[in-house]
Amino acid sequence: MALHRRAFLAGVASLAAAPRVAFAQVALPTERRFVFIIQRGAADGLNTVIPYADPAYAELRGALAIEPQSAIRLDGTFALHPSLSGLGALYQAGQASFFHAVASPYRERSHFDGQNILETGGSAPYALKDGWMNRMAGLLSPRGKEAIAFAPTVPQALRGALPVASYAPSGLPEPNEDLMGRVAQLYAGDPQLHALWSAALAARGMAGGLDGRKGGQKPEDTGRMAAGFLARSDGPRIAMIETGGWDTHSGQNGRLAGQLRNLDELVKGLREGLGPVWDQTVVLVATEFGRTAAANGTGGTDHGTGAAAMLAGGAVQGGRVLADWPGLRPADLLEGRDLRPTLGLDTLIAQVCAETFRVEPGKVARALFPDLVRGKGLPRLLKA
């Protein structure tokens, strides 16, 4: 009967909040916050950060090509998709940078394998069992702050030796106070369940009352919810947010516009919710791989290689597009079909993390990406 009772109580607890709360205690050497937003499904970098000055772009993309006059001009080579007006404003304010022709070491086209390599930091699928974000937390002193995933379960990037929380808004009806009180009484005599219950209530309070009970949560609300955790002096400093739906094999123009608008609103909600803490925040956005340079026959693009990544936040030394542009002529493409990568995503992540937490770059690179061959570094990405 004890097992049935615990299962029942665990179910009731999920009515109050949906965390898997066992905070990873990490005392960070700075007050900076680091947020990783993953774009699951292989986001199309060529129509996100648009190489409008490359003459092959319009020819390859045909009806999918974004007209330069409708895009947000970044410099003499690249423009931003019109749905990313908020990120465009951050770029103009020196709080966002964009990276192109970026890829992890993965060169095949499986979402599952590509995401595994992106999240574990390995050079082959499933070669590593823990995630680079968990190892990053492990580099820091094991006391004082927390890491959290805003997802129903802890993603691979945050799994590992350190226990990490996850939080997702519940779509279940709001429990009444009588039920909450009764459950609290039942948990009071069980040290393990009482601790979980208390942590769940604390996470629920940090969420600021935002949940998914009223017709689904808007991306801006998700950003504000995450900010409710991150802005607290006793809140987490490392976080991951999952986004999906980036696999645009057909009908790409409308679908990608909506996806990018949602991403823009997510970052907007995060920025507005953080308030002055935004000045101490670094947000990295990346996907498992890019999409083909040419459009397919169904108004979309297929799985490719090179992609785009984004860096935003008040701590970012922005206003730049960093790309060793390989070109889009047939001879320039990888295997005659993909944007050829010229920047390792692992190199980018390692440098961002080293600068964020002021940890020696070589130490960070070795811990996060054991097989990384260090080459030429990037210019400084964050404010000192």
The pLDDT tens digits for 253-296 are 999 999 999 999 999 999 999 999 999 999 999 999 999 999 99
CA atoms within 13 A on the CB side of 112: 1
Q: Where are the domains of the chain?
A: 22-178+216-368
**How would residue 376 be classed by pLDDT, with cut points 50, 70 and 90?**
confident
Of all helices (H) and strands (E), which one includes residue 86? helix 85-92
Percent of the chain with pLDDT over 70: 80
**DSSP per position, 148-190:** EEESSS--GGG-SSS--EE-----SPPPPHHHHHHHHHHHHT-
The DSSP-derived string for 105-140 is S--S--HHHHHHHHHH--SSTTS-SS-HHHHHHHTS
| pLDDT over 80 (residue 175) | no
Over residues 296-306, mean pLDDT = 97
Please, which residues bridge with residue 73 across strands?
Answer: 79
Contacts of 72 (CB under 8 A, 6+ apart): 79, 80, 81, 82, 84, 85, 88
Asked: is 22-178+216-368 a CATH 3.40.50 domain? The reply is no
Supply angle C-alpha 335, 341, 343, rounded to 5.
160
Question: Given this model, what pLDDT does residue 180 score?
Answer: 61
In this prediction, residue 141 carries a pLDDT of 63
Determine the Cα–Cα distance for residues 190 and 185; give it in Å rounded to an integer. Answer: 10
